[in-house]
Structure 1
Amino acid sequence: MARKRDKRRVGKEQLALAVRKNFNGSAVNENEVVVDLLYKVRAQDKSFRVRFAPMKPR
């Protein structure tokens, strides 16, 4: 049996609190993130490339 509509919904404040707790609970080492990103971009994922428009001569 399905719950009533008002019982199914999660409030905006409750959802924001859960997201904030999850985000604050995950420890991130910035150096490791940068190294992992550079490794991923250079070595593993050749299809991911950042392309810039060529610079115009002055």
Structure 2
Amino acid sequence: MKHQAPVATVITDTRLAQEPANPFSGSSLVPMLISGIVLVLVGMIAAVMLS
């Protein structure tokens, strides 16, 4: 007897496009990660130059 894979359902909600971006959503995590890495590198370079 063959079992079929469950069909993925797509949730279409008009509220999702209108809400502001959640800071923990995937779309805004990437810029936060990049800016964090840049700030850490700039801080490390400044610390080395001041020491």
TM-score by length of 1: 0.32
TM-score by length of 2: 0.36
